[in-house]
Amino acid sequence: MGLFGRRRDDDDEMDEWAYELTRKDSFPLAATITGSIIILVVAVLINSFVGHRHMLVTTLGAGTIVALFVWAAAFLVTLRHAPIGWKIGSFFAMIVVGLVAGVIGIGTAITALQNDVGAIAEIKINPNSGLDLPQGGARGPISRAAFAYFKVVIDDALKHRTALKALGYEAMTSAEALRAHPQLLSHCDQRATVTPMIEDYYARRRAAFARFRADLGAIDIEENFRKGLIDGVDRAQKEHGDLLQRAATNEHAQVGELVAMCQILARHHWVEQFGTIAFTSPADLRDFRAHGERENQLAGEERDMMRESMSIIDAGQSQIRRSLF
């Protein structure tokens, strides 16, 4: 007590004490914990639906905005009755939780992207038998697009090879085979059919890549990664594009040599000798051998190009593995 009654500071202490007795309980800790849980759940849900073209901005931004809304709602409902320390502390706590939710969303998206791209590195391509996909199949939109592209290309390649064999030129390997396919020598020049068939095949190859590239461009992934992915695919296609042109030229040349060999046989300046073809004309024998050697050389170049194509694919898969691991 002062000389003239209670001092002013005593009055303030009494007022604060009375306020604390009458103030509504705001449960600030429970509100902060509940709000943080809501922020995590809502931010994760939002991140699963929003676009990923600008993943860093959208994901962190979503977490922060959710945190602000949740804190504002908590403030209106209960935190406005809490001490100033709790008001400030809960605000920063929820903002941090929102940012953490954003970081979790980014980490989850990056992991999913790595798994998706990693599936491409596990593809096994056998030009003679087809495509061997990794267990479980595609793991996301990128590997789904890649698997679809490779399947179209490999299936079409096998069909194209079957169509070429169906022309019957392999029957020229022996007299016995020619007896089994007597119609061949009367229809030697099939280039009117084969030339557009070859051109259509390689046009489909180019169209398949164009669809694949368009599919990659439409995938909702982080913009810089998407551009890098398409740039890498374009570089590989530049190599493959040159390879496809060389392969088409090679096939046309092979067919030309086979037609020439067939036309020589169609003169019937040969006899069957122990199941083989024995020429009775030295000139025909010389010409047949020359075209045969050239066709064998072209077939060897075709095999080299196939190995080159597989090397390009292997190099791309190795680059993916190095970038991921």
Neighbours of 224 (CB within 10 A): 12
Do 168 and 111 fall within a single domain? no
Report the C-alpha gap between 73 and 55 in whole angstroms: 27
Do 300 and 191 fall within a single domain? yes
Least confident range of 15-29, 77-91, 122-136, 253-267: 15-29
2 located within any domain: no
Do 138 and 214 fall within a single domain? yes
Listed residue (133, 138, 265, 145) closest to 217, CA to CA: 145
Show which of 85, 100, 121 is a domain's final residue: 121
Listed residue (120, 105, 101) closest to 50, CA to CA: 105
Report the C-alpha gap between 224 and 323 in whole angstroms: 15
Asked if pLDDT for residue 103 goes beyond 90, the answer is: no
Strand partners, 130: 126
Average pLDDT, the chain: 81
Do 209 and 297 fall within a single domain? yes
Banded pLDDT at 10 (limits 50, 70, 90): very low
Show which of 121, 140, 165 is a domain's final residue: 121
Region 31-51: mean pLDDT is 75
What pLDDT was estimated at residue 42?
A: 78
CA 72 remoteness from chain centre? 43
206 located within any domain: yes
Show which of 121, 151, 166 is a domain's final residue: 121
Do 149 and 28 fall within a single domain? no
Report the C-alpha gap between 183 and 191 in whole angstroms: 16
Region 71-92: mean pLDDT is 82
Do 140 and 163 fall within a single domain? yes
Q: Which range marks the domain in which residue 105 is found?
A: 8-121
Banded pLDDT at 22 (limits 50, 70, 90): very low
Do 90 and 218 fall within a single domain? no
Its pTM surpasses 0.75 = no
CATH code of the domain containing 206: 1.20.120
Do 143 and 279 fall within a single domain? yes
Report the C-alpha gap between 236 and 186 in whole angstroms: 44
1 located within any domain: no
Report the C-alpha gap between 202 and 244 in whole angstroms: 7
What pLDDT was estimated at residue 7?
A: 44
- DSSP-derived letter for residue 184 is G
Do 75 and 216 fall within a single domain? no
Q: How many domains, the chain?
A: 2
Do 140 and 59 fall within a single domain? no
3 located within any domain: no
Do 191 and 304 fall within a single domain? yes
Do 210 and 305 fall within a single domain? yes
pLDDT digits (tens, 9 = 90+) for 216-265: 888 877 777 778 778 878 887 777 778 889 999 999 999 999 999 999 99
The first and second tokens of residue 162, run together, are 């079957």
- Do residues 63 and 24 lie in contact, with contact meaning Cβ atoms separated by under 8 Å? no
